[in-house]
Amino acid sequence: MSILILAEHDNQTLKPVTLSVIAAAKVIGGDIAVLVAGQSCAQVAEQVAQVEGVSKVLLADSSSYQHQLAENIAPLVAEQASGLTHVLAAATTTGKNILPRVAALLGVNQVSEVLAIESANRFKRAIYAGNAIATVESAEPVHVMTIRGTAFDAVSATGNSAEIVNLSNDFNSADIRFISEALAESDRPELTAAKVVVSGGRGVASAENFEMLYRVADKLGAAVGASRAAVDAGYVPNDMQVGQTGKLVAPELYIAIGISGAIQHLAGMKDSKVIVAINKDEEAPIFQVADYGLVADLFEAVPEFEKAI
């Protein structure tokens, strides 16, 4: 087996999710090359070189790759994939944007959101919003797959010293331009990588009331998430949405506050190790998946919880 992984990073730091993708590649086995495409991102390549299991780092440093535009990165990945058996990326919005374009350039279908590797060409993936798990077998000449990070335990980020190879080919589409980015600034951990997640739903009732959740989160070193209802109501921005159409999280502890537990929300958090639900409606479906349920008015319970931790 020979595997190419597209690293996810912000030109400075490797995103932890790539460590989970490398873990998935280790299950497949074989040589693992990791492509770092970006601008002034040599330090990312150096971080990747230290990661457990990496055989080789490919570094493509160009302004064309600064914003991870699929039009520029996909042909680079497809070129580097020549003769390989697998091409992997994280099932993040970046990976999901780029990798199908790579698959089409290679003339194959992609296997999306892989949860488990059964063999080199047999994989498990969630379908129907996580309401069914499919086992699929790929007869494609090269298996192009996005990996769900929460399904694989990250490999160690240190201890290795893989060779770094510079790539000089530059792909640049004239038909697309990056204009701007509005990324949430936060000192809290990233939602998909946090060990503790505190999430609020419609029951939180306003953007101001989310402050209560932020205070709890800061005491626990947690990230803050939200249900689709809270996002649609405008309490919090879309990047905080946990669920099938938002982010998939699997922290050690997930605290659902004022969240009823719609199927699409559960699909995004039910792999959490411990789930706590605080909701005044004792019939709320969230209690059917919660390890610890507290039927209470969140406006009383949450401040009390904050004091007690």
Partner 1 sequence: MKLLVAVKRVIDYNVKVRVKSDRTDVDLANVKMSLNPFCEIAVEEAVRLKEKGVASEVLVVSIGSKACQEQLRTALALGADRAIQVEGPDNPDSLSVARILAEIVKREDPGLILLGKQSIDSDNNQTGQMLAALIDRPQATFISEIMIEGDQLTATREVDGGLQTLQLTLPAVVTTDLRLNEPRYASLPNIMKAKKKPLDVMTADELGISINNRITLVSVEPPAERSAGIKVSSVTELVDKLRQEAKVIA
Run of H or E residues at 98: helix 93-106
Of 164 and 263, nearer to partner 1 (C-beta) is: 263
Cβ-proximal residues to 246 (8 Å cutoff; 6+ apart), any chain? 228, 231, 238, 240, 268
Quick one: which segment of 24-32, 40-48, 55-63, 298-306 binds partner 1 (CB under 8 A)?
298-306
171 binds partner 1 (CB under 8 A): no
Quick one: which segment of 19-27, 37-45, 154-162, 230-238 binds partner 1 (CB under 8 A)?
230-238
Q: Which of residues 24-63 bind partner 1 (CB under 8 A)?
A: none
20 binds partner 1 (CB under 8 A): no
Q: How many residues bind partner 1 (CB under 8 A)?
A: 88
CA distances from 36 to 28, 45, 99, 164, 210 (A): 21, 6, 14, 10, 37
Question: Whole-number minimum distance, CB 157 to partner 1, in Å?
Answer: 20
273 binds partner 1 (CB under 8 A): yes
| CA end-to-end distance (rounded Å), the chain | 49
Strand intervals (E) in 187-239? 196-200, 223-226
207 binds partner 1 (CB under 8 A): no
Q: In what side-by-side order are the strands of the sheet with 163-167?
A: 122-127, 110-119, 143-147, 86-90, 2-6, 31-38, 56-61, 163-167
248 binds partner 1 (CB under 8 A): no
Question: Whole-number minimum distance, CB 48 to partner 1, in Å?
Answer: 20
CA distances from 87 to 31, 147, 262 (A): 12, 10, 34
Question: Whole-number minimum distance, CB 165 to partner 1, in Å?
Answer: 25
For residues 53 and 160, is the Cβ–Cβ distance under 8 A?
yes
**What is the x/- site pattern for partner 1, positions 101-140, by CB under 8 A?**
xxxxx-xxxxxxx--------x---xxxxxxxxxxxxxxx
297 binds partner 1 (CB under 8 A): no
Beta-ladder partners of 36: 59
Q: Which of residues 80-99 bind partner 1 (CB under 8 A)?
A: 92-94, 96-99
Measured distance CA(162)–CA(45) in Å, rounded: 10
Q: Which of residues 175-194 bind partner 1 (CB under 8 A)?
A: 175-184, 192
Quick one: which segment of 20-28, 64-72, 152-160, 201-209 binds partner 1 (CB under 8 A)?
64-72
Question: Whole-number minimum distance, CB 195 to partner 1, in Å?
Answer: 8
Question: Whole-number minimum distance, CB 142 to partner 1, in Å?
Answer: 11
Nearest to 113 by CA among 147, 69, 87: 147
Question: Whole-number minimum distance, CB 55 to partner 1, in Å?
Answer: 27
